[in-house]
């Protein structure tokens, strides 16, 4: 039971109920900080009240709020600004003085991390996204063209369209949100919150503390792989966020339309030939010869053409993967049957493994694991579920052919060595060619193909040195090699101020677990589930090692490498450990 407090009022004593602890505990100042000034009635002034000296003599007109536009104009989100133009966003221009005893750069007892202007826009926007909304600095309008504020609906629509292209191109959820946040802040919109899931993008903007938020959303219907378009979008974002270039909304829309209409840099027949060369290089990488190279290349090209035919008929991607996985497996079985009849010494495992290298969804796997490691669990779950469906489709296609081969007494040996270390020079060249053709399949710019090919060759050299020469387990060797791929990819992207995907995805091609996948499927087809499941588990471990290694390499580059002049201010906050609850 608590006692009431009697306060002397102008008309006599009046009784007030005591304030509970919950009502003022959150506003109790820390030790050494002065209490806020009290108003005339003995209550602290509101944190939104005007500071002294900024008061106005004029009273708000009837029908208008003291903090914003008329109510009728706030409902539709369009209020006239000076000269009849678009309404300015309501922001506080004057800095708020901190109480005495609180050092500069400290908010709520926590040191504020202010992004440096010299850092890339990706790092700056990630930093701001990790900060609470109340601690973010007021945006500096980079693209300012007249005295009126930005057209809020058009800015939000442009932001969503840019995010759609990035998400459809395979960019991670955190990078998509950072790009959307950068565009909205560059055009002067404060208090914007982007949100990205697997197929839905949304952004909310609150003009002021008393106005209703404006929210817009967009759905990603189709996804495709075109890293040339992805690079063009990153260039557009860099120009929008840079103060050296002047890009109006109309100019940004025009450039975005050009990016959408841009044709792929490589025609369809080049992609088909690239898929065949990729499969042939992968077969040489795991011990195949010239005959195996030709058989793997022919099977992969046939599977690619069949997949294109199914796509033209409107079949889902699941069935396209089933159809594309059958011809390489059929070539391996046929080569085994012909080789056993003609007393040839062939390696059918290398043929089938080469075909699997061209189908394994390494790009989606890396993006899914990256989203999970950065805290976007819904998007990560959807991406990994997509990878699982594609993997099941490949299993169905290969198992169907392998089962028929077993019934035809094809001598498929599950104990064959997955690769040989006796030809290091040939294997390094095969790894470089594999990454080169993988980059073409991803529709990369010609200027990045050579760099990513060298990155893939370095990845294979590191893996072979650790596993074949050093005797380290393949999972650990794969993780280290993938970490170097992620590190070099981040270095290249920061140097070019572009996305890291074009420098990373194709370079992990030589590390994909094609051999482990094939031997796992062969064990299941030969009614040996223990051997098959063990090999498939190894394939899953290798895939996770690739994804985690690439992400860790990128995080290491962001942790220790800074832009000249930016110092450590470009670092980003991360979520604290939950300690199990």
Q: What is the pLDDT of residue 457?
A: 92
The string of pLDDT tens digits covering residues 366-402 is 888 888 888 888 888 998 898 889 988 988 998 888 8
Q: Could you give the 3-state DSSP secondary structure of residue 7?
A: strand
Whether 154 has a pLDDT exceeding 80, the answer reads yes
Q: What is the pLDDT of residue 52?
A: 47
Place of tokens 């309008």: 141
Q: How confident is the model at residue 557 (pLDDT cuts 50, 70, 90)?
A: confident
Of 296, 306, 161, 173, whose CA–CA distance to 237 is shortest?
161
Whether 533 has a pLDDT exceeding 90, the answer reads no
Q: How confident is the model at residue 206 (pLDDT cuts 50, 70, 90)?
A: confident
pLDDT, greater one: 102 or 552:
552
The string of pLDDT tens digits covering residues 73-93 is 443 444 444 434 444 444 433
- Cα torsion angle, 313, 319, 324, 330, sign: negative
The string of pLDDT tens digits covering residues 280-302 is 998 888 888 888 899 899 999 99
Q: CA torsion 193→194→195→201, rounded to 10°?
A: 140
Report the range of poorest mean pLDDT among 99-113, 161-175, 337-351: 99-113
Whether 348 has a pLDDT exceeding 60, the answer reads yes
Q: What is the pLDDT of residue 323?
A: 93
The string of pLDDT tens digits covering residues 427-467 is 899 999 999 999 998 888 888 888 899 999 999 999 989 98
Of 484, 482, 486, 500, whose CA–CA distance to 178 is shortest?
500
Highest mean pLDDT among 120-129, 240-249, 436-445: 436-445
How high does pLDDT run on average in the chain? 75
8 A C-beta contact, residue 500 and residue 493: yes
220: Cα separation from own chain's centroid? 15
Q: What is the pLDDT of residue 74?
A: 40
Region 511-533: what's the mean pLDDT? Answer: 82
State the Cα angle at 86 between 80 and 88, rounded to 5°.
90
pLDDT, greater one: 210 or 117:
210
pLDDT, greater one: 575 or 126:
126
Of 232, 283, 279, whose CA–CA distance to 254 is shortest?
232
Structure tokens at 63: 């029908």
Q: What is the pLDDT of residue 11?
A: 52
| Distance of alpha carbon 506 from alpha carbon 455, whole angstroms | 9
Whether 27 has a pLDDT exceeding 50, the answer reads no
Whether 99 has a pLDDT exceeding 50, the answer reads no
Q: What is the pLDDT of residue 326?
A: 92
Region 33-43: what's the mean pLDDT? Answer: 48
Region 356-363: what's the mean pLDDT? Answer: 82
Q: How confident is the model at residue 566 (pLDDT cuts 50, 70, 90)?
A: very low
8 A C-beta contact, residue 266 and residue 440: yes
Q: What is the pLDDT of residue 522?
A: 79
**Other C-beta atoms lying within 10 Å of the C-beta of residue 40:** 6
| Distance of alpha carbon 42 from alpha carbon 57, whole angstroms | 24
Place of tokens 């602290």: 44
Structure tokens at 276: 């065949």
The string of pLDDT tens digits covering residues 184-204 is 888 888 788 899 988 899 999
């Amino acid at each position: 039971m608590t006692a009431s407090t009697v306060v002397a009022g102008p008309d006599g004593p009046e009784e007030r109920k005591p304030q509970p602890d919950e009502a003022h505990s959150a506003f109790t100042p820390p030790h050494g900080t002065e209490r806020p000034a009290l108003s005339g009635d003995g209550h602290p002034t509101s944190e939104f009240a005007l500071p002294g000296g900024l008061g106005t003599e004029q009273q708000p007109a009837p029908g208008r709020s003291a903090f914003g536009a008329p109510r009728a104009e706030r409902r539709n989100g369009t209020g006239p600004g000076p000269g009849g133009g678009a309404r300015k966003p309501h922001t506080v221009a004057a800095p708020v003085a901190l109480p005495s005893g609180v050092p500069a750069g400290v908010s709520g007892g926590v040191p504020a991390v202010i992004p440096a202007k010299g850092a890339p826009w990706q790092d700056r926007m990630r930093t701001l996204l990790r900060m609470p909304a109340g601690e973010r600095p007021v945006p500096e309008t980079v693209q300012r063209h007249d005295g009126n504020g930005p057209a809020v609906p058009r800015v939000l629509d442009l932001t969503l369209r840019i995010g759609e292209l990035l998400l459809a191109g395979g960019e991670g959820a955190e990078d998509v949100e950072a790009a959307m946040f950068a565009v909205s802040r560059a055009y002067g919109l404060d208090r914007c919150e982007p949100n990205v899931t697997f197929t839905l993008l949304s952004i909310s903007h609150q003009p002021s503390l008393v106005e209703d938020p404006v929210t817009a959303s967009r759905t990603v219907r189709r996804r495709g792989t075109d890293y040339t378009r992805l690079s063009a979008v990153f260039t557009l974002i860099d120009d929008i966020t840079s103060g050296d270039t002047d890009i109006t909304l109309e100019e940004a829309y025009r450039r975005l339309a050009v990016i959408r209409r841009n044709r792929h840099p490589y025609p369809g027949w080049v992609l088909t030939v690239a898929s065949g060369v990729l499969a042939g290089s992968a077969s040489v990488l795991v011990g195949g010869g010239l005959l195996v190279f030709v058989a793997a290349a022919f099977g992969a090209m046939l599977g690619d053409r069949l997949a294109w035919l199914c796509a033209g008929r409107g079949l889902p991607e699941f069935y396209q993967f089933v159809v594309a996985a059958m011809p390489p497996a059929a070539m391996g079985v046929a080569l085994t049957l012909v080789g056993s009849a003609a007393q040839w010494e062939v390696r059918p495992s290398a043929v089938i493994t080469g075909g699997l290298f061209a189908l394994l969804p390494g790009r989606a796997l890396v993006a899914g694991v990256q989203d999970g490691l950065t805290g976007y669990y819904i998007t990560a779950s959807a991406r990994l579920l997509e990878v699982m469906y594609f993997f099941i489709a490949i299993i169905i296609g290969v198992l169907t052919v392998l089962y028929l081969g077993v019934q035809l007494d094809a001598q498929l040996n599950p104990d064959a060595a997955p690769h040989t270390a006796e030809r290091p020079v040939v294997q390094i060249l095969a790894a470089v060619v594999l990454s080169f053709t993988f980059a073409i399949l991803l529709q990369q710019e010609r200027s990045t193909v050579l760099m990513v090919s060298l990155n893939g060759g370095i990845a294979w050299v590191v893996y072979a040195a650790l596993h074949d020469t050093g005797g380290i387990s393949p999972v650990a060797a794969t993780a280290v090699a993938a970490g170097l791929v992620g590190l070099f990819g981040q270095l290249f992207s920061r140097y070019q101020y572009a996305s890291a995907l074009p420098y990373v995805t194709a370079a992990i091609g030589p590390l994909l677990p094609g051999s482990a996948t094939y031997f796992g499927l062969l064990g299941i087809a030969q009614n040996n589930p223990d051997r098959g499941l063990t090999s498939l588990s190894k394939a899953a471990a290798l895939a996770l090692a690739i994804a985690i290694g690439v992400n860790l390499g990128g995080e290491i580059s962001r942790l220790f490498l800074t832009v000249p002049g930016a110092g450590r201010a470009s670092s980003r906050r991360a979520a604290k450990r939950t300690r199990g609850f």
